[in-house]
Amino acid sequence: MMEEAVEKEYILNMHGNYSETVIDHARNPRNVGNIPNCDGFGQCSGECGDTIGIWLSVKNERITRATFWTDGCGATIACGSMITELVTGRPVAEAKKINRDTLLHALGGLPEDHVHCAALAADTLAEALQDYHELARFPWKKAYMK
């Protein structure tokens, strides 16, 4: 019963500050989890202490699957969820162009004190793409990934 009350209060607070898209992705995140034997992985921690990991599967220079995990707040969850949706199905070269502003636009914005969550997700994607390129150049390194 108390959980329901807390959840309702949380939703009411979010509605005043966040777009419906952010609320939807925060409450119903897409593509959560890891990808075993992935083609690229990135992990970053933000100034607020949140951490995001992004896993990529790539075939013929196109991202076929993207997943994420975070220990962060609702805004960070929404950013991780949305960025995986934005990159899935896109060529790697196109995914490299996705940045904080692209993500903020797709989410319908974030309050100023949570814009860093979008930067964190974009930085993590960039790291995962860099890892993909590194593994493509040196495929033997994939055998040493966890």
Task: Dump pLDDT digits (tens) for 72-105.
Answer: 999 999 999 999 999 999 999 999 999 999 999 9
User: Is 119's pLDDT higher than 80?
Assistant: yes
pTM summary value: 0.88
Q: What is the DSSP letter of 19?
A: -
Q: What is the CATH number of the domain that holds 82?
A: 3.90.1010.10
Q: Which long-range contacts (CB under 8 A, 24 or more apart) does 82-86 make?
A: 82/21, 82/25, 82/106, 82/107, 82/121, 83/54, 83/121, 83/122, 83/124, 83/125, 84/30, 84/31, 84/54, 85/30, 85/31
The domain tally of the chain equals 1
Q: How far is CA 76 from CA 39, 44, 128, in A?
A: 23, 12, 17
| Amino acid symbol at 112 | E
User: Is 12's pLDDT higher than 60?
Assistant: no
pLDDT greater at residue 143 or residue 108: 108
Give yes or no for a contact between 60 and 77, defined as CB atoms under 8 angstroms apart.
no
Measured CA to CA, the distance from residue 68 to residue 121 in angstroms comes to 9
- Predicted local confidence at residue 146, as pLDDT: 55
pLDDT greater at residue 8 or residue 11: 11
Measured CA to CA, the distance from residue 75 to residue 50 in angstroms comes to 10
Nearest to 10 by CA among 134, 102, 18: 18
Nearest to 96 by CA among 120, 59, 125: 125
The domain containing residue 83 runs over which residues?
Answer: 2-144
